[in-house]
Amino acid sequence: MLGQAMGAMLPAALAVALSPFPLIGIILILSGAHGRRNGLLFAAGWITGLTVAATLIALLFGGADDPDSTSSAVADWGRVLAGGVLIVLGARTWWKRPRAGEQTEQPRWMASLDDATAPRALLLGALLSGANPKNLVLTASAATSIVEAGAHDVGLVVAVTVYVLIASCTVLGSVGLHLVGGRRAASVLDGIRQFMVTNSTVITVIVLLLLGAKILGDGLSGLDR
């Protein structure tokens, strides 16, 4: 059951990890005057936000492992809705993509990351992971999949922990590289940031469409049981 739970939540965890803007944000934070401190705080907030969201959703749908339960039906209808929303967001993101010669507009919250205060770095990490609508949808899908696979008690804790770690791997990897890599790490991270900025639209669209289709399909399959 634990292995099934891991496999079910893996696509959503990777989708969260590959989200361009949080990765760009943590790299900008690390390049600032208090990069070491703020980077660690951002990572702590990120992990906390994901853990709280995944745990609450898993507890809310604790009976979803019974296909005939109300929790299971609600989870399946939620997947249908969430999958449809992700597909629409993917199409909308592609439609509004910058055309040739246009520059990608940087979100406002990124403007002052290099000199962010410690509380702001911590709060931003938590909000981007746990309160971000796209991440919340993906976390909800992962958490309900874990419960439906029959993971309970220790198994549930292990599965949620693995989900959080996989979903956090790019943020944690960036912080770790900054702490041990010195100037060379700064150059590597800046290259990653530039790649993400340049290709953020394509990456976001691919993630939204593929995950949206999967979540929608899982929801429809569940309703047909």
Least confident of 16-20, 111-115, 184-188: 111-115
Domain limits for position 58: 2-223
Least confident of 6-10, 96-100, 161-165: 96-100
Query: Could you give phi then psi for residue 111, rounded to 5 degrees?
Result: -60, -35
Distance CA 100, CA 80 (A): 35
pLDDT digits (tens, 9 = 90+) for 191-206: 888 888 777 788 888 8
Total H helices, total E strands in the chain: 8, 0
Q: Quick one: average pLDDT of 54-64?
A: 83
What is the total count of domains within the chain? 1
Asked whether the beta carbons of 71 and 62 are under 8 A apart, the reply is: yes
Distance CA 169, CA 175 (A): 10
105 class by beta-carbon count within 10 Å (0-12 exposed, 13-18 middle, 19+ buried): exposed
- pLDDT level of residue 167 (50, 70, 90 thresholds): very high
- pLDDT level of residue 20 (50, 70, 90 thresholds): confident
Residue 109 has pLDDT above 70, yes or no: no
Q: What integer pLDDT is reported at residue 136 of this predicted model?
A: 87
Size (the chain), residues: 225
